[in-house]
Amino acid sequence: QVKQKGRDSYSFYTEHLTTNAQRKAEMESELHRAILNNELMLQYQPQFNLNNEELVGMEALVRWNHPVKGMIPPDLFIPLAEESGLINKISEWVCNAACQQVRIWLDKGFRVPRVAVNVSGAELMGGNLLTNFTSAMSTHRIAGSQLEAEITENFMMQDVERAVGLVNELRDLGIVIAVDDFGTGYSSLAYLKTLPIHRLKIDRTFVREIPNNVNDMAITHAIIAMGESLGLEILAEGIETREQQAFLRSKGCSLGQGYLFARPLSAENIEGWLAH
């Protein structure tokens, strides 16, 4: 009986593996096609000054508009793209699409705040990070000062020397450098003194339970204080309530984004924000 059970769970296991692997392979080839067919799209989430609620920037967030499955969020395909190497194509597409959109808005006469683009950790080693930015910028005649690159702690920890070099080159183009999801990666604080960054983005998981979780409040306060004394700008992610905004403001965090203010919006719908 034990044997029987063992065999069943074994076959269940292999079956499970096969379907998983199959599903992955399918999705990979679909994703490949998606890039060619222009099924990817960007939404933009506004970023605000928490003190006067002025629009200060926008984060470009990629979505996969699948012909059958509908809108697929990035958490469901970016990790797969990173594993398969498709991330380089996606990043190239994202950089170009963001700059193209900025150009369209500028040509329509809007004053466009800085647009932030997410950089994958996988791009540090194999990618064409710098070329993606420079060629999109020159194709669409966009200045570096119009752009921000969001890198993660994991991006830096893979190869600190290389990361510092790349970040410096982006900075030299005038691009603002932000550390995304700050406080959640595997890293030491030591890099903060070697890395030429402008901005820390406090991860949403620390903001989520304010004001009910005193530990999250303590951590958030500490990140703000540390960032401030290092001369960095601090932006809080995932602000959903007035209480969270008030707490963050009171601790000296001057920037934020979250559903309280605006969800990620299509390029078309963002124009309402640009107009006022």
The footprint of Mg ion (CB under 5 A) covers 118, 150, 180-181, 237
What are 131's two structure tokens?
């070329």
The one of Mg ion, ligand C2E, none whose footprint includes residue 92, by CB under 5 to 8 A per kind, is none
The one of ligand C2E, Mg ion, none whose footprint includes residue 47, by CB under 5 to 8 A per kind, is none
Task: Restricting to residues 182-211, name those near ligand C2E by CB under 6 A.
Answer: 204
The one of ligand C2E, Mg ion, none whose footprint includes residue 132, by CB under 5 to 8 A per kind, is none
CA nearest 253: which of 27, 49, 61, 16?
Answer: 49
Residue 115's beta-bridge partner residues?
A: 58, 147
Cβ atoms within 10 Å of 159's Cβ, excluding its own = 13
Q: Is 228 in the site for ligand C2E (CB under 6 A)?
A: no
Helices assigned H by DSSP within the chain: 2-36, 78-84, 87-107, 123-126, 129-140, 153-158, 160-172, 191-194, 204-207, 214-229, 242-250, 267-275
Query: From the CB of 261, what's the least distance to ligand C2E, in Å?
Result: 8
Task: Restricting to residues 117-176, name those near ligand C2E by CB under 6 A.
Answer: 118, 120, 150
**What would you report as the CA-atom Rg of the chain, rounded to the nearest whole angstrom?**
21
Which helix (DSSP H) or strand (DSSP E) does residue 255 occupy? strand 255-256
Nearer to Mg ion, 30 or 150 (CB): 150
Query: From the CB of 269, what's the least distance to ligand C2E, in Å?
Result: 14
What are 89's two structure tokens?
């194509």
Nearer to ligand C2E, 18 or 202 (CB): 202
φ, ψ dihedrals at 213, nearest 5°: -115, 110
Helix axes 242-250, 214-229, angle to 10 degrees: 40
Cβ atoms within 10 Å of 252's Cβ, excluding its own = 13
The one of ligand C2E, Mg ion, none whose footprint includes residue 264, by CB under 5 to 8 A per kind, is ligand C2E
Query: From the CB of 18, what's the least distance to ligand C2E, in Å?
Result: 28
Q: Is 259 in the site for ligand C2E (CB under 6 A)?
A: yes
What are 21's two structure tokens?
């692997």
Exactly one of 34, 56, 94, 163 binds ligand C2E (CB under 6 A); that residue is 94
Query: From the CB of 134, what's the least distance to Mg ion, in Å?
Result: 21
Nearer to ligand C2E, 78 or 270 (CB): 78
Where does this chain bind ligand C2E (CB under 6 A)? 45, 61-62, 73-75, 78, 94, 118, 120, 150, 180-181, 204, 237-240, 257-259, 264
